Amino acid sequence: MRGRGAQAVDRETRSGVAAEARLGRPSGASAPTGSWLLRGNDDRLSVYALVEAGVHRWTETAVGSGRFDGPDLFPVEGLTSLAVAQGANRYAHFLGRRERSGGGGPKTDLVYAVQYQTGRTLGDWRSLGNPFRDPRDAASLGAPTAAVDGQGTVHVFVSGGPGGVMLRREARSGAWEAWKDLRGGVVAGGLSAAANSAGLVELLAPGHRSVMRWVQTEPGADLRRAQDLTPAPAPGSAALLETAPGVFTAYWSEQSGTGVYAQRPGEWAFPAGGAPGEGPHATLRAAVDGYDCTVLAHQGRTGTAVLGVCGTGAESGGLWWTDTGVDCAGTPALALDGHGRIVMAVVAADGAVLVNRQRPEPGLTLADWERLSGS
């Protein structure tokens, strides 16, 4: 962030020998969607990754310590994707797309589990079914995403089948409502959902020509279709960040490769620079040198993790982008630790999970990368 009150990101990577996972082999982790680096209700961080046997979790040993225990394995067979969401109470909600073989051929459904406290076990995995009955449509079920509104209601979104977006949400009684068709056009890549500080949910769905958008205007209300966002997005590249009370800024990569665009309601979309590769952006608001800043992270065009920062609300002036030099697979994750420091996690190309933390010095400078054990 040179010239903007912060320093560039350190590119050094701490070497380490790959540890063996509890199954006696490398975990071969992959990055979930959503924010897979979460701060729990006791202010410790947890890191989650999708592995062949289920979900791995590493938990910070103490608030802001930078040291992690784990991995703990939560078995679930057949997961092809994993999304993690967190509500205001900091419960962690897990949604997975699962494929199983049966007598009638492969069966695809969504499964759900919840973790109530940091470092504790997950509840039982339960099936949320599949919104599509036709076997071909059911097999085309996309990767889910989720958001938790201010009332603690989990909203699960998924695309597939004939196109559009399907929603299933948890009722106040704890039972799950029936699937609802939000319609819309064909979705290109993953969805992105979040709830703002007022507890209202918003959803972005990249299409072939625009980013489709749904909003919730009052607590408990149905989501309604809002104005699409243009220019055309790269598949699955949309993300949300609350940049003012109750106001989301949408970020996405432009389809032809001109970089990241940002847009707030009632404003035109504006370019924010960068050279993103595939996938969405991790987003975070953080104080850097006493300034309210927006931080973005993504997999760059060359396959390395890239970090961008600007003053919140000042994206039109461009972000200061820094390449960490660390190869990553999938989207990085960002969070604030219990001391307010920026923490970044990536899944490396070899499946190792790496974590880095802001140095306690002026500017935004990361320390050395730490390889989590068992990854």
Q: Give the tens place of pLDDT for each residue, 97-112.
A: 999 987 666 699 999 9
pLDDT above 50 (res 150)? yes
Q: Can you tell me the mean pLDDT for 36-56?
A: 96
- In sequence order, what are the beta bridge partners of 311? 293
pLDDT above 60 (res 70)? yes
Query: Between vectors from CA 318 to CA 280 and to CA 279, what angle results, nearest 5°?
Result: 10
- Residue 137 belongs to what H/E stretch? helix 135-139
pLDDT above 80 (res 25)? no
Please answer whether residues 146 and 83 qualify as being in contact, where contact means their C-beta atoms are separated by less than 8 angstroms. yes
- pLDDT, residue 105, reads 63
Please answer whether residues 30 and 375 qualify as being in contact, where contact means their C-beta atoms are separated by less than 8 angstroms. no
pLDDT bin (cut points 50, 70, 90) of residue 173 is: confident
Q: Can you tell me the mean pLDDT for 124-136?
A: 94
Residue 174 backbone dihedrals phi, psi, to 5 degrees: 100, -15
- pLDDT, residue 182, reads 96
Q: Can you tell me the mean pLDDT for 207-228?
A: 95
Please answer whether residues 110 and 130 qualify as being in contact, where contact means their C-beta atoms are separated by less than 8 angstroms. yes
pLDDT above 90 (res 80)? yes
pLDDT above 90 (res 162)? no
Please answer whether residues 296 and 307 qualify as being in contact, where contact means their C-beta atoms are separated by less than 8 angstroms. yes
- pLDDT, residue 12, reads 32
- pLDDT, residue 365, reads 86
For the stretch 312-369, pLDDT in tens is 999 988 899 999 999 999 999 999 999 999 999 999 999 999 999 998 888 888 899 9
- pLDDT, residue 19, reads 30
- pLDDT, residue 341, reads 95
pLDDT above 60 (res 8)? no
pLDDT above 90 (res 271)? yes
Q: Kindly state the DSSP code that residue 231 receives in the 8-state scheme.
A: S
* Cis peptide, bond prior to residue 332, ω within 30 of zero: no
- pLDDT, residue 5, reads 33
pLDDT bin (cut points 50, 70, 90) of residue 375 is: confident
Instruction: Please give the model's pTM, rounded to 2 decimal places.
Output: 0.90
Least confident residue range of 64-78, 97-111, 202-216: 97-111
Token pair listed for 265: 């309601």
Average pLDDT, rounded, for the chain: 89
Q: Can you tell me the mean pLDDT for 193-208?
A: 96
33-282 carries CATH number 2.120.10.10? yes
pLDDT above 50 (res 14)? no
The Cα 26–Cα 242 span in angstroms is 37
So where are the chain's domains? 33-282
Please answer whether residues 58 and 110 qualify as being in contact, where contact means their C-beta atoms are separated by less than 8 angstroms. no
More confident call, 26 vs 353: 353
Please report the beta strands in 264-352, taking only residues with DSSP state E, as ranges in sequence order.
270-273, 282-288, 291-299, 304-311, 320-327, 333-336, 342-347
Share above pLDDT 90 across residues of the chain, in percent, rounded to a whole number: 79
